[in-house]
Amino acid sequence: MPSASPVSLFKLNRIWDVILLALAFFFVFLAFSVVQNMASTVLPSGEVAFPALGTLYLAFAFFNLFGAAPLVDRIGTRPAMFFATLTYTLFDASNVGAMLMVGNIGHQLALLVPASLLIGAGAAVLWTAQGSYVIKCATKETIGRYTGVFFGIMSASNMVGPLFTGALLQGNVNKEDAFKILTGLGALGPLIIVIFIWGMRAEPSNPEASPMLPEASVEQDKTPMMLKAFKLVISKEMLMIAPLVYLSACEQTFNTGSLPLFINTGSPSEDLRSKLYLSAAYGAALTLTSFVIGPITDWVSNPTLIIAVDAIAHLAALIALWVHPSPMNNLALLYPCSIVVAMSDATLLNQAYKLVAGLFPANPTAYAAYKFHSAGAIGIFFFTSKSMLSSSGAPSMAIWTPLLIAMFVLAVGTTHLVSRDIEWKKGSRGGETVALEVSANESGLGFLKTSDSGIVGNESDEPVYTAVLSK
């Protein structure tokens, strides 16, 4: 096969669809990231914020199992993402309402719990559709880069949102009005999806990302999609990925809900600004790492090694918080720790997506099962976060650090086991690649015939790696 001319990332198949989608998510999460990360500051943490966020993620897990995949399959990824993002705007507005009910915990919960249930359902649909959409746009060889670009752009919201909110507060805008402005900006996300993604672009259908199932398998598999999702949740492959997913969930919960509680000077306005700038540093590191980690992981193609190296850096930051004699309000310590945790979050998320994409190609049901594990774990960690606070109201690192050490050890071990039969084959440059050969797995999914001529359409001049699951 003749070598193709080098093609830049921005000329790859449907990369601009992924970029537009990432821009929509940027606005949605510009508002939501601030609302979520600052919930324990602007609302009573143990009585309102943690229960509301816990409800959100448990609802997220429930609807992932019982409704997300069938809905996405029925109406398509684009309309599913549009309606789902509207629930985020409603949740943002509900938080503004709760902030106006100062001192009335009962009314705050009455407003936020239903909103949390609704956004939980919306989030389940949104992330199931997003995973399927990006995989359909990408190829097996570019999924790391496509995922990196998507999360790089989206993750910038974690930096821009806090900085923008901090600037509003610095300009003497009160926090309620600042959150109203954020809610309006978040509503731009659904507009981008309905006008550009849904209105101007066709549903992606990349033949490389849509495996051909043998006819006999298709005829025999008449299982309802909800039961398929449940089967995938408890499948051997998904359970082997689960410790990595739980680790990522624990990290996210700690960073978004607990780490900001190390700041408490007694001045609410000053504390809020400091926490926003700490969150912005996290967002900047998350964004940069998301862009960089995709090509690196595509090249290294050894999830066990990547997670093990990640563990060393992350645990060093946690131990520093644990052994330091005075971590409270110590920004010189909190900023580096937040940055390291962000780099770890981006790395673990990339690896989790890559493993799901390799084991369950272009299967929206698999993303529902994956998000069931992820959201369920986040919900549980939020509900239990109150019990992991010290008497001063700061996170108890004597609990968090050993917990995360144990989870890292388990995640490295299970990742090694689930990926040890995968041989990462290096393809040639300029468009010639090795085809993906996936054997039948226990869930009855993941058949893809190999091609002697390789997978068509790799437009990158980068070396590519292809997973081959041993029979």
**Domain-embedded: residue 1:** no
**Domain-embedded: residue 292:** yes
**Domain-embedded: residue 2:** no
Higher pLDDT, 189 or 436: 189
CATH assignment of the domain containing 248: 1.20.1250.20
The predicted structure's pLDDT at residue 206: 55
**Domain-embedded: residue 148:** yes
Query: Is residue 238 a contact partner of residue 369, using CB atoms and an 8 Å limit?
Result: yes
Query: Is residue 48 a contact partner of residue 97, using CB atoms and an 8 Å limit?
Result: no
**Domain-embedded: residue 413:** yes
Higher pLDDT, 151 or 312: 312
Please calculate the CA angle 303-141-16 and round it to the nearest 5 degrees: 115
Its domain, for residue 274, covers: 9-469
Confidence of residue 452 (pLDDT cuts 50, 70, 90): very low
The predicted structure's pLDDT at residue 4: 47
Confidence of residue 104 (pLDDT cuts 50, 70, 90): confident
Q: Which residues pair with 328 in a beta bridge?
A: none
How many structural domains comprise the chain? 1
**Residues 351-376: what's their mean pLDDT?**
77
**Domain-embedded: residue 4:** no
Taking the C-alpha atoms of residue 214 and residue 205, their distance in angstroms, rounded to an integer, is: 19
Please, which residues have CB within 8 angstroms of residue 234's CB and are 6 or more apart in sequence? none
Higher pLDDT, 206 or 6: 206
Q: What SS3 state is found at 325? A: coil
Higher pLDDT, 430 or 14: 14
DSSP conformation letters of 413-434:
HHHHHHHTTEEEEEPPSTT--P
**Domain-embedded: residue 3:** no
Give the residue among 375, 349, 372 at the shortest CA–CA distance from 228.
372
The predicted structure's pLDDT at residue 444: 29
The predicted structure's pLDDT at residue 402: 94
The predicted structure's pLDDT at residue 404: 92
Confidence of residue 362 (pLDDT cuts 50, 70, 90): low
The predicted structure's pLDDT at residue 422: 59
What are the pLDDT digits (tens) for 365-385? 777 788 788 888 988 998 888
- For the ranges 6-15, 26-35, 95-104, the one whose mean pLDDT is highest: 26-35
What are the pLDDT digits (tens) for 210-243? 443 344 444 455 666 667 777 888 888 889 889 9
Please, which residues have CB within 8 angstroms of residue 296's CB and are 6 or more apart in sequence? none
Q: Which tokens go with 356?
A: 């799901």
**Domain-embedded: residue 347:** yes
Q: What letter does residue 40 receive in the DSSP assignment?
A: H
